[in-house]
Each structure stands twice: as structure tokens, then as C-alpha cells.
Amino acid sequence: MKPELDKTNIVAFIADIFERRGAESYLGEAVTMAQHMLQGAVLAEKAKAPEDLVAAALLHDIGHYTSEFGTLSLGDTRDNYHEESGAKVLEPFFPAVITECVRLHVPAKRYLCATDPAYYGRLSEASKHTLSLQGGPMSKAEVAEFEKPPLPRGC
């Protein structure tokens, strides 16, 4: 049974998930889930990103573990929308900048594949497969929509 989660124990809870499940395969890749997520955080640190963006990079794939947080299940024979489920389970505990980065990491991949041909070429086979499940590179209309500035909060 999971503990009642709050801001005082969420980091320990996530650390426990990493410890227990981090060694799981990352879609058949040569890295584990924990290694993949840690690589994101290390790259963000090397880029001198602010701490909240380093945290977002670390947590970007937490949606693959949403079953750890309760009954949220979005299926696994199609896109599991891990970006949405991950952001949803983190929202009560983390600032919006972190949860929005988690939510937007799949659209960002789709955008980059549509706007930077070299980016797609650097994706692993597993990432190319998940990209196809996630809708593939964005269409020109999706790119235009993604590039629009966000509305101010409360609009």
C-alpha cells in the first residue's frame, strides 16, 4: 500500500520507484529506465539549466510509472500518453514549470522531428517507434500551433 503522498514525502517516494523499478529495460534499449531519465538530468545540468528544469529532465518519463501512484492506467498497446499521466501525478507536488516540461516533452520531440531533419536521425529505434505511436512528426499546422506563444495564465 502506498503512503499518503504529500510534498514532504514525494521525493522519497519517487526515489523508491527509481530504486525498485529503475533497472527495467527502456524499450529494449541498452540503457535502463533510470539511466535514461538520469541522462536527461545530466544533460540539463551540463547545459547549465536551472534546477527546476534539471528536475523536469529527471522526471520526464515518470508517467511510465503512474501505476505506482494509484489506479491511473492509460493502456499500453497504443500510445500510453505517459507525458500527460506523468504531469498529472506530479501536479500536486511540483511547480507548474516542472509539470509542463513533463507534459510537453513528447510534443517537443514531435516538433523537433518536424523542424530539424537531423534530430530524427539521432533518435534510437525505440524512440522512432514511440514517435510513430505518438503521432509522428508534427504537421505544418501542428508546428504553427505549437509555435504560438502561450496565453497568459488565467485567460
- The pLDDT score that the predictor gives to residue 91 is 94
CA distance 31 to 70: 26
Domain range summary for the chain, segments of one domain joined by +: 10-103
* Cell numbers for 12: 522519497
61-120 per-position pLDDT tens digit: 998 887 777 643 434 445 668 899 899 989 999 999 999 999 999 999 999 999 998 999
Domain 10-103 carries which CATH code?
Answer: 1.10.3210.10
* Cell numbers for 129: 517507434
CA distance 155 to 153: 6
7-43 per-position pLDDT tens digit: 999 999 999 988 988 888 777 778 888 898 999 999 9
* Cell numbers for 74: 492509460
CB burial of 121-137 (b: ≥16 within 10 Å; e: otherwise) equals: eeeeeebeebbeebeeb
Lowest mean pLDDT: which of 42-46, 64-68, 144-148? 64-68
Most confident of 10-24, 43-57, 123-137, 141-155: 43-57
- Confidence band, pLDDT 50/70/90 cuts, at residue 151: low
- Confidence band, pLDDT 50/70/90 cuts, at residue 153: low
Report whether 69 contacts 2 (CB < 8 A): yes
Backbone angles phi, psi at 65, to 5 degrees: -115, 20
CA distance 16 to 11: 9
